[in-house]
Amino acid sequence: MAGNLPIKFRMLELFSDEQPHWNYEIVQKIQKEYNLTGDFYRDSINFDLIELASGGMLKGIESKVDDEGIYKKGFLLHKYAITDFGKVRASNVCLVYV
């Protein structure tokens, strides 16, 4: 299934279940939904997550080193959760807030 929403919209939507998610879960999900394969898209989608966090819409709550290479071996994995500001922005972009 190809996604119809801009990627950052879809990310906020995925986080609006108010559960924390690991970055690799979100990146893999988006890659699959939007049919964007390859390392280049993986990194550029992860960068969208970094921008959302730096803009204060997501906050990092846990990190661990990727020892097993689930995502990128030796790099940090981050677990993010949506912030109140992120919820406001999510509802601004007309996502149905669950």
Residues of this chain that interact with other proteins (CB under 8 A) are 3-9, 12, 34, 36, 40-41, 44, 48, 50-57, 59-60, 63-65, 76, 85, 89, 92-94
In the complex with other proteins, which residue's Cβ is closer, 21 or 52? 52
Min separation Cβ 75 and other proteins, Å: 8
Nearest-angstrom CA–CA distance, 14 and 8: 10
Distances in Å between the Cα of 57 and the Cα atoms of 12, 18, 35 are: 8, 12, 25
Min separation Cβ 16 and other proteins, Å: 13
Nearest-angstrom CA–CA distance, 13 and 5: 10
In the complex with other proteins, which residue's Cβ is closer, 12 or 21? 12
Give me the amino acid identity at 25.
Answer: E
Min separation Cβ 87 and other proteins, Å: 13
Min separation Cβ 62 and other proteins, Å: 10
| 3-class SS of residue 60 | strand
| 3-class SS of residue 53 | helix
